Amino acid sequence: MIIVRILLIVLVLVLLAAGIRIVPQNSEGLIETLGRYSRTVKAGPTLLIPFIQRLRKVSLALQPLEISKYSIITKDNAEITTSLTLNYLVTDSYKYFYNNTDSVESMVQLIRGHLRDIIGRMELNEALGSTSQINAQLSDAIGDLTDIYGIRVVRVNVDELLPSPEIQKAMDKQLTADREKTAAIARAEGEARNIELTTKAKNDALVATAKAKAEAIRTQADADAYRISKLEAALSQAGEGYFRNQSLDSFNNLAAGPNNLIILDKDEIGDLGKIPAAAQIWDKSSQQKPQA
């Protein structure tokens, strides 16, 4: 009898130990009785009927997930490859576990489908330059749709959008051509500017030279006018005897030369002396020329 009692006590303790389960923090437990859901328990210890009830633990913590790369066709029939990352958490452990055989995979397929729809309505260049816009549209699109899986997507992000290798090569060629075109335009503009500056400098030099020549001519003309006025003043003050003496000197100079035969009208003989007199006065006035 003692041995039987001991065995019974041991059996009860084993059954109690087998029926005690611990649900971790930030988790929920789904209790099934003979394979059928019976209730949901919170974190902490819970007691089950051994061999009849079963505990399934569901984490409620935020979960990161990376969606592998896959291809999408844009509006202009260009193929691009994209990859996503997201964070989700379980909001309803019953829906998460019982309403779908794989709620996470169903959520991923839903997100992929919406992303295909969003990018499929964009052209390649628009899609490549609108990552933040795509993220916002995708978040709005999935919204509460994942609630049927007992999941809420906290954040979704398109990590990269890569065109196919063929398109990438074409884009690289186009980029190179655009850069060469920009460089050629810059060089042409630089050369045109250089020609413009050179031409302006030459024109400025010609204008300056012309102004200098004009100033020199004006100064020379002023000097000549000054000498002529002095000459006229000197001749107007010279007496008749002065011109007569100059006439005699002129005849003497002509007689000393090889060509000493001169034919003049008698009225012009008296004016002959004015020529050397004018020359002497001109020379003197040249020495007294005012500084310009």
> Which runs of consecutive H residues, i.e. helices, occur in the chain?
2-19, 93-98, 103-120, 124-128, 131-142, 165-237, 240-256, 266-269, 274-287
Mean pLDDT, rounded, for 67-78: 87
Question: What is the pLDDT at residue 247?
Answer: 60
CA atoms within 13 A on the CB side of 97: 17
Q: Which domain holds residue 31?
A: 2-59
Residue range 207-228: average pLDDT?
84
- Residue 195 reports pLDDT greater than 50: yes
The pLDDT score that the predictor gives to residue 281 is: 47
Q: 105 lies in a domain?
A: yes
Report, in angstroms and rounded to the nearest whole number, the Rg of the chain calculated over CA atoms.
Answer: 58
Cβ-contact 90, 56 below 8 angstroms: no
**pLDDT exceeds 90 at position 243:** no
Residues 6+ apart with CB under 8 A from 114: 138, 141, 142
pLDDT in tens, 109-168: 999 999 999 998 988 888 888 888 888 888 888 877 788 888 998 888 888 888 877 777
Q: How confident is the model at residue 282 (pLDDT cuts 50, 70, 90)?
A: very low
Domains held by the chain: number: 3
Do the domain assignments include residue 189?
no
pLDDT for the residue 278: 47
Mean pLDDT value across the chain: 79
Residue scoring higher pLDDT (244 or 107): 107
Distance CA 179, CA 206 (A): 40
Q: Cα angle vertex 12, ends 11, 18, to 5°?
A: 90
pLDDT at 10 over 90: no
More confident residue, 17 or 286: 17
Q: Are residues 75 and 130 in the same domain?
A: yes
pTM: 0.54
CATH code at position 151: 3.30.479.30
157 neighbors 108 (Cβ within 8 angstroms): no
Q: What is the DSSP letter of 78?
A: -
Is residue 172 situated within a structural domain? no
209 with 261, same domain: the answer is yes
Same domain, 10 and 86: no
Query: Quick one: 29 and 67 in the same domain?
Result: no
